[in-house]
Amino acid sequence: MFHCDVVDVTKNKITLEKAQAFIESHKCGASLFFIGTVRDNNNDKTVTGITYDSHDGMVKKSFEEIFDEANKTLQLQHPVAFVEHAKGYVPLGGISVVIAVACKHRAQVYEFSRYIIEEIKKRTPIWKKEHYINEETSWLDGKKIEAK
Amino acid sequence: MKIKIELFGAARDFANDNILELKIENQTNIKGIRENLLQWLQKKHPNNSTYSNIVKNSAFCDENNEIVHDDYLVSKEQKLCIIPPIGGG
């Protein structure tokens, strides 16, 4: 079972309650939540928030591919995952991404969660514009995407 | 013919609108579109190396949400998206 979405945070919220409700399963004995939040400092600059931009169609496709790959590569038993990423302005401390996973046994949820976030960082078309205390902003450098 | 290029990430700063329109020859490949976009930028933002580096390091995706190779030929009026280097999460 898999749910993913890009959440326009000017209209909706990413909530842990929704993630918890989705991953609950009597077949799973372990669940794990990864929560990405906006921190206050990057490259010696005081960060007040981040605006996330997203190519929604590619992002959802990428999330689905990552889930399928994780399932095959890690040979997961009863995998369940909930992935939501923010789009729009997220203030300091706000949630940028939630990855909630559940599996039959505990060892797999750690691998599963880690696999998803690392692959998102490598290939999912999401961009960050940091906002600083002096009201300056800067798009962060990223990783070039190549055609398959 | 005309094609549309939707802007994402740092490329959104190229224009106030999120979509650019470029005039290209029929059967132009992505490499040619990149050149065309660089020429557009030179007129709109002369000698802005930050912007030209974004274009040089970007991929392009088609209407099926697939990243296309540099030799992909554009033979109809369509929308492409510019995908600058990514870094979410």
What is the predicted ipTM?
Answer: 0.90
With a cut of 80, say whether residue A89 has pLDDT above it: yes
B18 touches chain A (CB under 8 A): no
SS (H, E, C) chain B: CEEEEECCHHHHHHCCCCEEEEECCCCEEHHHHHHHHHHHHHHHCCCCHHHHHHHHCCEEECCCCCEECCCCEECCCCEEEEECCECCC
Supply A97's token pair: 């991404």
pLDDT for residue B88 is more than 80: no
Mean pLDDT calculated for residue range B32-61:
94
CATH topology assigned to domain A2-133: Aldehyde Oxidoreductase; domain 3 (3.90.1170)
Contacts of A50 in chain B (CB under 8 A): none
- Contact across the interface for B12 and A53, Cβ inside 8 Å: yes
Rounded to an integer, the average pLDDT of A36-58 is 95
Matching CATH number, B2-83, of 3.30.70.330, 3.10.20.30, 3.30.930.10, 3.30.70.260: 3.10.20.30
Q: B65 and A57 in contact by Cβ < 8 A?
A: yes
The tokens for A137 are 């902003």
* Overall average pLDDT of the A113-133 stretch: 95
AA identity, residue B35: E
- Decide: B76 and B2 in contact? Cβ < 8 Å: no
Q: Which residues of A touch B83 (CB under 8 A)?
A: 55, 58, 125, 145
pLDDT the model gives residue A105: 94
Q: Which of B66, B68, B85 sits opposite A141 (nearest CB)?
A: B85
E strand segments, A44-133: 45-54, 80-91, 95-103, 126-132
* Subunit contact B88:A85, Cβ cutoff 8 A: yes
Residues in chain A: 148
Q: Which residues of A touch B51 (CB under 8 A)?
A: none
Percentage of residues in chain A with pLDDT exceeding 90?
90
Across A109-131, average pLDDT? 96
Q: Are B21 and A140 in contact (CB under 8 A)?
A: no
Report how far residue A87's alpha carbon sits from residue A66's, in angstroms, rounded to the nearest whole number.
19
- As a whole number, mean pLDDT of residues A42-55 equals 95
The domain locations on chain A are 2-133
Query: How close does chain A come to B88, measured CA to CA in Å?
Result: 5
Cβ-defined contact of A139 to B10 (cutoff 8 Å): yes
Kindly report the number of other CB atoms within 10 A of residue A67's CB atom: 24
Confidence of residue B75 (pLDDT cuts 50, 70, 90): confident
Q: Could you tell me whether strands A80-91 and A126-132 are parallel, antiparallel, or unpaired per DSSP bridges? A: unpaired
- For residue range A67-78, what is the model confidence (pLDDT) as tens digits? 999 999 999 999
pLDDT score for A36:
96
Mean pLDDT of chain A: 95
Count of CB contacts below 8 A, A vs B? Answer: 86
Reported confidence tier of residue A108, pLDDT bands at 50, 70, 90: very high
Q: What is the mean pLDDT of residues A86-112?
A: 97
Rg (CA), chain A: 16
Residue A88 sits at the chain B interface (C-beta within 8 Å): no
